[in-house]
């Protein structure tokens, strides 16, 4: 589904655009009651059984985009309930970050095998022969699977020469590497928040758009309207996300039209992070710890804390690129507000941690920022470019793709300590990350540098991105080649991290 335009992506864009337009038009949040009628016009439904249900879902999307929670359907409440406290620049949203709108959920089939019409009633009956539980029999000339006996081993599907047996799995559950998606009493998906690490992969995998994360679009614009110095620190994965005309120079010009005071690339912080993680590794492995896990991906970080608490001592203590860049801006421009703009839903939770909250004031995904561009009717094809971003190195920009972090740290170690051999292992997607950590806990990766990325493909596959993953990775690769400097050791900020810790 990623990168494929659909009704779901259209609705999400409309929601973000209308919330942004309402904020720019004066910030009267009471007008939010009208937004479902703008988002879902007319008197006929487009995709659900009634236009009233579509508007009810749109209303919850608007609330979530403004950082509010989903309302209970058992009691009467206004769509604007709670907005007086949320619709101010100083407001932070409260967990849970990722939410399921119950009446938008299709209650998709959970893990099961089904025989389709492609069954040929063949004489071999291979599906029956391989079933270890005798769960398959012929009924009305077709194979039939008894769900009470089936153990979901999948042997029947592999044995069928006509591929007539399919595996059905709830898309959001299949995408969740933490097994945090469960069912309520009505068969609808719900999230076990004790397991969730807010990677957002369920969000982009739901074919019904029932899963939504909270946002801060309204609050960011309120801060801009208050004429505060709002600085956007932008993750390297931004390149190409807003269309083929969105060059760095045009992107900066567009951000200025939105009201941002300054735009800085987070690759600057990635360069600092690289140098510090290299120092961390050389100092601690193996003298103080068996291996070191990178610190950059917040969902990977949270996964280790939730599932492998005994291994948290092996996570690098280095600050993330987002935090380094934010602290640099706070140091350089006292009193400013910092907005991290990136591909990641989990960064929203990282930003509201008690030790980070004073550094990063807001987080926007690329998808949310696109809504702001739409609200201001910014056309990248015609906008005049400003100066390019040129402070981050090629290595720092490479953090956006899987393998980029470990590769960057390894290169710096090779440059500073060529006699040291650095062994690395990496995983992308939380299921693979769990396997990696299981092996690390068992001592299989002693002496290694481990990189984990919650999103398959790296940050370019984050829940807030707009491009297909493969294309995004290609564009980032070109962007790396455009950097004026390759190594973080040649960055003007190479020694700056010590003043920001």
pLDDT digits (tens, 9 = 90+) for 377-390: 999 999 999 988 88
Instruction: Say whether pLDDT at 162 is over 70.
Output: yes
Task: For residue 489, count CB atoms less than 10 angstroms from its CB and return exposed for 0-12, middle for 13-18, buried for 19 or more.
Answer: middle
Q: Do residues 366 and 460 lie in contact, with contact meaning Cβ atoms separated by under 8 Å?
A: no
How would residue 296 be classed by pLDDT, with cut points 50, 70 and 90?
Answer: very high
Confidence at residue 40, expressed as pLDDT on a 0 to 100 scale: 96
Confidence at residue 339, expressed as pLDDT on a 0 to 100 scale: 98
- Lowest model confidence (mean pLDDT) among 229-233, 309-313, 354-358: 354-358
**Distance from C-alpha of 115 to C-alpha of 132, rounded to nearest angstrom:** 17
| Cis previous bond, 232, omega within 30 | no
**Distance from C-alpha of 391 to C-alpha of 268, rounded to nearest angstrom:** 6
H-type alpha helices, 285-383: 298-307, 321-332, 346-351, 366-375
Q: Do residues 268 and 322 lie in contact, with contact meaning Cβ atoms separated by under 8 Å?
A: no
Rounded percentage of the chain residues whose pLDDT exceeds 70:
99
Select from 1, 56, 345, 427 the least CA-distant residue to 172.
1
- Lowest model confidence (mean pLDDT) among 24-28, 166-170, 496-500: 496-500
pLDDT tens per residue across span 54-75: 999 999 999 999 999 999 988 9
Instruction: Say whether pLDDT at 354 is over 90.
Output: no
How would residue 1 be classed by pLDDT, with cut points 50, 70 and 90?
Answer: low
Confidence at residue 86, expressed as pLDDT on a 0 to 100 scale: 87
Mean pLDDT for 412-418 is 97
Q: Do residues 65 and 51 lie in contact, with contact meaning Cβ atoms separated by under 8 Å?
A: no
**Distance from C-alpha of 220 to C-alpha of 461, rounded to nearest angstrom:** 24
pLDDT tens per residue across span 90-134: 888 889 999 999 999 999 999 999 999 999 999 999 999 999 999
CA angle 396, 402, 408 (to 5 degrees): 35
Confidence at residue 91, expressed as pLDDT on a 0 to 100 scale: 80
Q: In 142-161, which positions are buried (b, 16+ CB within 10 angstroms) versus exposed (e)?
A: ebebeeeebeeeebbbebbe
Q: Do residues 319 and 359 lie in contact, with contact meaning Cβ atoms separated by under 8 Å?
A: no
Select from 235, 214, 231, 215 the least CA-distant residue to 223.
231
Confidence at residue 388, expressed as pLDDT on a 0 to 100 scale: 83
**Distance from C-alpha of 481 to C-alpha of 458, rounded to nearest angstrom:** 19
User: DSSP secondary-structure letter at 418?
Assistant: T
- Of residues 501 and 210, more confidence is placed in 210
Confidence at residue 163, expressed as pLDDT on a 0 to 100 scale: 96
Rounded percentage of the chain residues whose pLDDT exceeds 90:
92
Instruction: Say whether pLDDT at 29 is over 80.
Output: yes
CA-only gyration radius of the chain, Å:
24
**Distance from C-alpha of 72 to C-alpha of 101, rounded to nearest angstrom:** 10
Residue 436: alpha-carbon gap to chain centroid: 21
Instruction: Say whether pLDDT at 257 is over 80.
Output: yes
Confidence at residue 2, expressed as pLDDT on a 0 to 100 scale: 66
Q: Do residues 199 and 454 lie in contact, with contact meaning Cβ atoms separated by under 8 Å?
A: yes
How would residue 4 be classed by pLDDT, with cut points 50, 70 and 90?
Answer: confident
Select from 120, 119, 233, 130 the least CA-distant residue to 165.
119
Confidence at residue 73, expressed as pLDDT on a 0 to 100 scale: 87
Confidence at residue 222, expressed as pLDDT on a 0 to 100 scale: 96
**Distance from C-alpha of 61 to C-alpha of 104, rounded to nearest angstrom:** 11
Select from 257, 253, 258 the least CA-distant residue to 220.
258
Instruction: Say whether pLDDT at 498 is over 90.
Output: no
pLDDT tens per residue across span 471-483: 999 999 999 999 9
**Distance from C-alpha of 367 to C-alpha of 13, rounded to nearest angstrom:** 7
Q: In 308-333, which positions are buried (b, 16+ CB within 10 angstroms) versus exposed (e)?
A: beebeebbbebbbbbbbbbbbbbeee
Select from 197, 175, 209, 215 the least CA-distant residue to 100.
209
Return the CATH number of 112-168, one of 1.10.240.10, 3.30.1510.10, 3.40.50.170, 3.30.70.20.
Answer: 3.30.70.20
Query: pTM of the full predicted structure?
Result: 0.94
Residues 6+ apart with CB under 8 A from 465: 2, 3, 237, 241, 343, 365, 366, 367, 472
Structure tokens given for 490 = 């040649």
Instruction: Say whether pLDDT at 76 is over 80.
Output: yes
CATH 2.60.40.1120 for the 94-106+176-214 domain, yes or no: no
């Amino acid at each position: 589904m990623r990168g494929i335009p659909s009704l779901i992506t259209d609705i999400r864009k409309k929601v973000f655009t209308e919330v942004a337009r309402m904020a720019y038009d004066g910030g009267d949040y009471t007008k939010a009651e009208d937004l479902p009628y703008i988002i879902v016009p007319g008197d006929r439904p487009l995709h659900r059984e009634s236009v009233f249900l579509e508007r009810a879902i749109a209303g919850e999307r608007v609330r979530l985009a403004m950082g509010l929670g989903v309302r209970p359907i058992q009691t009467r409440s206004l769509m604007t309930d709670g907005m007086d406290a949320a619709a101010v620049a100083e407001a932070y949203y409260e967990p849970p970050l990722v939410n399921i709108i119950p009446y938008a959920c299709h209650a998709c089939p959970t893990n099961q095998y089904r025989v389709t019409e492609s069954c040929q009633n063949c004489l071999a009956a291979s599906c029956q022969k391989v079933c270890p539980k005798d769960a398959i029999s012929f009924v009305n000339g077709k194979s039939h699977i008894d769900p009470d006996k089936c153990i979901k081993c999948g042997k029947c599907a592999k044995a069928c020469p006509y591929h007539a047996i399919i595996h059905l799995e709830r898309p959001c559950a299949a995408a969740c590497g933490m097994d945090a998606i469960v069912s309520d009493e009505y068969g609808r998906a719900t999230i076990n928040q004790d397991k969730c690490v807010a990677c957002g992969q369920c969000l982009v995998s739901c074919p019904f758009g029932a899963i939504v994360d909270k946002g801060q679009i309204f609050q960011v614009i309120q801060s801009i309207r208050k004429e505060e110095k709002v600085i956007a620190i932008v993750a390297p994965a931004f390149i190409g996300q807003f269309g083929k005309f969105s060059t760095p120079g045009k992107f900066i010009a567009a951000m200025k039209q939105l009201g941002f005071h300054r735009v800085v690339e987070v690759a600057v912080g990635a360069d600092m992070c690289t140098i510090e993680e290299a120092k961390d590794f050389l100092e601690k492995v193996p003298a103080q710890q068996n291996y070191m896990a990178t610190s950059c991906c917040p969902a990977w970080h949270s996964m280790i804390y939730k599932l492998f608490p005994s291994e948290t001592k092996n996570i690098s203590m280095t600050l993330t690129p987002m935090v380094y860049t934010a602290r640099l801006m706070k140091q350089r421009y006292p009193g400013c507000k910092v907005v991290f703009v990136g591909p990641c839903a989990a960064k929203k939770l990282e930003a509201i941690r008690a030790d980070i909250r004073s550094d990063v004031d807001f987080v926007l995904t690329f998808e949310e920022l696109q809504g702001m561009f739409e609200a201001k009717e910014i056309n990248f094809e015609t906008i005049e470019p400003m100066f390019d971003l040129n402070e981050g190195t090629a290595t720092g920009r490479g953090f956006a793709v899987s393998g980029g972090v470990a590769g960057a740290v390894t290169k710096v170690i090779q440059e500073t300590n060529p006699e040291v051999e650095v062994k690395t292992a990496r995983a992308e997607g939380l299921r693979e990350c769990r396997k990696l950590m299981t092996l690390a806990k068992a001592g299989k990766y002693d002496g290694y540098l481990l990189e984990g990325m919650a999103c398959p493909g790296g940050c370019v596959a984050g829940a807030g991105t707009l491009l297909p993953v493969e294309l995004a990775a290609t564009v980032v690769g070109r962007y790396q080649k455009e950097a004026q400097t390759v190594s973080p050791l040649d960055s003007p900020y190479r020694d700056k991290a010590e003043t920001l810790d």
